[in-house]
Structure 1
């Protein structure tokens, strides 16, 4: 049994998968198993994975029909035997000491997970950036209630810049068939996480391709994001999270909601949009009874009645509204 299981969903990344695998094989920490889930790739990705597995018995390749990254990661979780688990995307790669650095921090501690900084590699190299993390220890509630609502480039939603104790993930799985699967996963992850340590080391290199999922989202995919955000708001109410944080997430929900309204869906998708409209109205009413400023309470009246119109007006006058909200 390996100390660390590294789970990699692989789909149509023949240009990058060799670098991804090599970055794992060249780790200064060698007690790992690398689980590659070929998610029905139609290019040479699966073949490349098989060739590497023939050379190194720490590599496990599982070929599946195309079901998406969520299902692929779940397959990896079922197969993983390590005491610790990390995730990596097939077009990303690791610094040579990433696993060792994360392992040495989590192994002799009470942390449920350790989080590191990462370099975002964009199509235009001049746009590359890191998050500039500061070392600190937080808890799961603090992350879900506050930190996830800050501007942090998805730091607390993504799964591939962290190492997890196996026991934290034992009863967690990604939602099959959903887009924005990390949003659903993180909702549950931070409910069961206690201490989380952040280190400033830049240890992961994440490619943001022009063809990446986030850059090629179909409008209907945002229906899943709406569902994930509604789930988070329900958690906030159940666990009595701060009223201002509930308000923040409701405001954020208006963006994908407005996109979906403009799409003029029919059938089941139209029903999902209307269900969200009702949810916004109900949530606005609940919040009007909470400890919020007069300005925010007033805005909730309009949001509850005309959520998509409110969002379009808010974007138009954003700079002025930010002074009040």
Structure 2
């Protein structure tokens, strides 16, 4: 049996639709536990009526104590061999449970992570959600692995949320793994402690969840108010690593994860009090550890640049002024050591040819092949023999003339070389309007307009 746990707070417009999808899963041996966390709308009544209609639905009512406590209440009352925590306002595939369960049994994994899409309710749009499963951080050649196989980036393979993760309950109980008793970042505590404790982790490349944004419901929309919760979870995670002699193994992924969240809060804060609280906490408790490592230790160059500015800032105001220009264009200032797919430039299910098999090209190729977002019909490089010898299916650039594709994505980091390759491809007969350079060396807005006009 599989236990599905949903914390509910004032979610009356989503409950019946979600219950219907879950009750009609292709795997039916379920218990669906709704924990009403002190709702003040009609959610309690709707839940009680659903429990009468189907014996697989169980409802627990409690005073409002936050999503961490609510989910733990559900977990403590679960009877399934496996458990999954879902958000009541999200959308789910009908084979969600079956897919998770099959993967868990097939791989004997303690935890399975799936891919996902982002559903923007305001515009009724489905968008890629690379943060659900970062393919470029995973082992290249397998879908299940030991956490120590990727100990330097374990916390970066997925977001800290739990709604795309499937756990063996006996594993959670053995290590007493639970969510933090907080209103925010509570799920990060469970994911990270489970990840380092698991014997095996598996991934499913199916997009089983559509995560709803701009719905005005999720507590994650208001994280700037919960700096105290973030500090609590940072301390809980560090204590768990220390108590279990795991810090030395996972120090790099831990510091990168903590730094990433701290920078995110600094760059998006709306509360002066919260900003100042996090500034002084970081100065007193984390700066020494961050500063002990050089640039190459950090997986995100932008985070390193921000924390370097932080080192030089004596007061919160000084720091805020120094990062102000970065904050106003933060979405344009993120540079990755690992290269995420530029999904916004690619149409779903389009035929893509890749040029370049270096770091950028390999990262993009691996992600596209595993995500099924686009169909990679060709991968070429001028040094084909070098990469083919390593086992990558790289072909000669002349093959571009014999293959049908919608987009040629040039994946070359240096602008001068990328421009030279683009000119070479045009001279070979590739239409210029099919070519995209990644990283983008032309204005992104202009590039998107060009691509849209050509559709």
Distance across 1 between alignment mates of 2:219 and 2:225: 13
Residues 254 and 311, structure 1, Cα contact 8 Å, conserved in 2 = no
Residues 3 and 32, structure 2, Cα contact 8 Å, conserved in 1 = yes
Aligned residue for 2:33? Answer: 35
Question: Per the alignment, do residues 108 and 299 of structure 1 end up closer, same or farther by CA in structure 2, a change over 3 Å counting?
Answer: closer
Residues 83 and 165, structure 1, Cα contact 8 Å, conserved in 2 = yes
Distance across 2 between alignment mates of 1:212 and 1:79: 25
Aligned residue for 1:52? Answer: 50
Residues 38 and 45, structure 1, Cα contact 8 Å, conserved in 2 = yes
Distance across 1 between alignment mates of 2:57 and 2:70: 16
Q: CA deviation at 1:15?
A: 0.5
Residues 70 and 174, structure 1, Cα contact 8 Å, conserved in 2 = yes
Aligned residue for 1:24? Answer: 22
Distance across 2 between alignment mates of 1:169 and 1:137: 19
Residues 143 and 156, structure 1, Cα contact 8 Å, conserved in 2 = no
Q: CA deviation at 1:259?
A: 5.9
Q: Which of 146, 170, 173 is matched with 1:139 structurally?
A: 146
Residues 100-249 of structure 1: pairs in structure 2 closer than 5 A: 100-123=98-121, 124-126=123-125, 128-131=127-130, 136-141=143-148, 145-149=152-156, 155-170=158-173, 171-213=176-218, 216-217=221-222, 219-229=224-234, 235=241, 238-241=247-250, 246=255, 249=258
Q: Which of 282, 285, 293 is matched with 1:276 structurally?
A: 282
Q: Which has the higher contact order (CA 8 A, sep 6+)?
A: 1
**Residues 128-137 or 85-94, more deviating:** 128-137
Aligned residue for 1:263? Answer: 271
Runs of 5+ unmatched residues, structure 1: none
Residues 255 and 311, structure 1, Cα contact 8 Å, conserved in 2 = no
Cα distance per residue 1:91-143 (max 9 Å; x no partner): 12321111112112212432112222222211212353344966722333456
Aligned residue for 1:250? Answer: 259
Runs of 5+ unmatched residues, structure 2: 136-141, 339-455
Q: How many residues align?
A: 314
Q: CA deviation at 1:291?
A: 7.5
Question: Per the alignment, do residues 320 and 207 of structure 1 end up closer, same or farther by CA in structure 2, a change over 3 Å counting?
Answer: closer
SS of the equivalent of 1:43 reads: coil
Q: Which of 307, 311, 321 is matched with 1:304 structurally?
A: 311
Distance across 2 between alignment mates of 1:7 and 1:298: 40
SS of the equivalent of 2:222 reads: coil
Q: Calculate the TM-score normalised by the size of structure 2.
A: 0.59
Residues 114 and 203, structure 2, Cα contact 8 Å, conserved in 1 = yes
Aligned residue for 2:77? Answer: 79
Based on CA coordinates, which of the two structures has the bigger radius of gyration? Answer: 2
Q: CA deviation at 1:286?
A: 2.9
Distance across 2 between alignment mates of 1:64 and 1:298: 45
Matched, 1:286 2:292: yes
